[in-house]
Amino acid sequence: MNKNNLLAALFMGLLFIGWIFWQQSTNKPVPKKQNTEQTVNKTNPQEEAKPEVSTSPKPATTQSTDSSTAVKPNLYGIFDKTANGTKQVITIENDLYTAKFSSKGGVLVEYTLKKYLKWDKKPSQLVQNHNGELYLAFRSLDGKPIDTRDLYFVFDTDKSNIKLSGKETFTIKAVMDLDSGRKIVKEFVFSGNTYDFTMNIQLVNVENYIPRNGYNLMWDSGLAYQENNSVDESNSAVAVVSRLGKIDEFNAKHPEMDGESFSGTIDYIATKTKYFGLAIIPKPDQSFSGTCDLYGKEKTFPNKGKEKAYDISFRVPYDGGTRSSSYQIYLGPLDYKILKAYGLRDMVNFGWRILIRQIGEYFMLPVFNAIHSVVNNWGVTLIIFAFLMKMLLYPFSIQQMRSAQKMKLLAPEMDKLRQKYADDQKAQQAATMKLYSDHGINPAGGCLPLLLQMPILFALFSVLRNSISLRQSSFIFWIHDLSVPDKILDFGMSFFGISFISGLALLMGITMFFQQKMTVTDPRQKGMVYIMPVMFTLMFASLPAGLNLYYFVFNLLSIGQQVYMNKFSRKKFTLEDMRKAPKKEGWMQKRMREAQEIAAKQGKTAPTSLANRYKDLDTKKNYRKKKK
Using DSSP's 3-state secondary structure scheme, residue 395 falls into helix
Is it true that the peptide bond before 284 is cis, omega within 30 degrees of 0?
yes
Which amino acid type is present at position 595?
Answer: A
Which residues, other chains included, contact 364 with Cβ-Cβ below 8 Å and sequence gap of 6+?
A: 459, 460, 463
Helix (H) or strand (E) holding 274: none
Size of the chain, expressed as the number of residues it contains: 628
Strand partners, 91: 100, 161
- Measured CA to CA, the distance from residue 220 to residue 208 in angstroms comes to 27
Answer whether 390's CB lies under 8 Å from 558's CB: yes
Neighbours of 480 (CB within 10 A): 14
Q: 273, 32, 226: which is closest to 122 by C-alpha? A: 226
Strand partners, 306: 300
Q: Which residue has the higher pLDDT, 172 or 587?
A: 172
Answer whether 142's CB lies under 8 Å from 77's CB: yes
Which residues, other chains included, contact 497 with Cβ-Cβ below 8 Å and sequence gap of 6+?
A: 20, 21, 22, 23, 24, 27
- Measured CA to CA, the distance from residue 224 to residue 230 in angstroms comes to 11
Decide the pairing of beta strands 306-316 and 322-333. Answer: unpaired
Which residues, other chains included, contact 92 with Cβ-Cβ below 8 Å and sequence gap of 6+?
A: 98, 99, 100, 101, 162, 164, 170, 172, 190, 197
Cα separations in angstroms, 469 against 373, 472, 474: 12, 8, 11
Q: Which of 12-21, 406-415, 470-479, 524-533 has the highest mean pLDDT?
A: 470-479
Q: Which residue has the higher pLDDT, 92 or 607?
A: 92
- Measured CA to CA, the distance from residue 496 to residue 518 in angstroms comes to 31
- Measured CA to CA, the distance from residue 480 to residue 500 in angstroms comes to 16
- Measured CA to CA, the distance from residue 519 to residue 401 in angstroms comes to 8
- Measured CA to CA, the distance from residue 180 to residue 115 in angstroms comes to 46
Residue 24 pLDDT grade (very low, low, confident, very high; cuts 50, 70, 90): very low
Q: First-to-last CA distance in the chain?
A: 33
- Measured CA to CA, the distance from residue 125 to residue 116 in angstroms comes to 9
- Measured CA to CA, the distance from residue 149 to residue 11 in angstroms comes to 56
Q: Which residue has the higher pLDDT, 432 or 501?
A: 501
Mean pLDDT of 177-206: 96
DSSP symbols for 465-504: HH-GGGTT---STT---TTS--EEEEEEEEETTEEEEEHH
- Residue spans per domain, the chain: 1-30+485-543, 62-348, 349-472+545-576, 585-627
Rounded percentage of the chain residues whose pLDDT exceeds 90: 51
Strand partners, 102: 89, 107
Neighbours of 569 (CB within 10 A): 14
Mean pLDDT of 458-479: 90
Mean pLDDT of 485-505: 83
Answer whether 12's CB lies under 8 Å from 527's CB: no
For residue 414, report the phi and psi dihedrals to the nearest 5 degrees: -70, -35
pLDDT higher than threshold 60 for residue 600: no
Q: Residues 325, 331, 335, 341: what is their CA dihedral angle, to the nearest 10 degrees?
A: -20
pLDDT tens for 391-404 read 888 877 777 777 77
How many CA atoms lie less than 13 Å away from 23 in the CB half-sphere? Answer: 20
Please give the pLDDT value at position 528: 77
The CATH topology of domain 62-348 is Beta-galactosidase; Chain A, domain 5 (2.70.98)
DSSP state of 10: H
Q: Is the Cα torsion angle 440, 443, 444, 449 positive or negative in sign?
A: positive
Answer whether 367's CB lies under 8 Å from 388's CB: yes
Residue 596 pLDDT grade (very low, low, confident, very high; cuts 50, 70, 90): very low
Strand partners, 259: 295
How many CA atoms lie less than 13 Å away from 233 in the CB half-sphere? Answer: 30
Of the ranges 118-132, 573-587, 601-615, which one carries the lowest mean pLDDT score?
601-615
Residue 422 pLDDT grade (very low, low, confident, very high; cuts 50, 70, 90): confident
Using DSSP's 3-state secondary structure scheme, residue 456 falls into helix
pLDDT tens for 52-82 read 333 333 333 333 444 445 666 788 999 999 9
Please give the pLDDT value at position 244: 95
Cα separations in angstroms, 432 against 3, 55, 125, 210, 441: 17, 72, 65, 82, 11
Residue 50 Cα to chain centre, angstroms = 34
pLDDT tens for 105-120 read 999 999 999 999 999 9
Mean pLDDT of 565-589: 65
Mean pLDDT of 415-429: 80
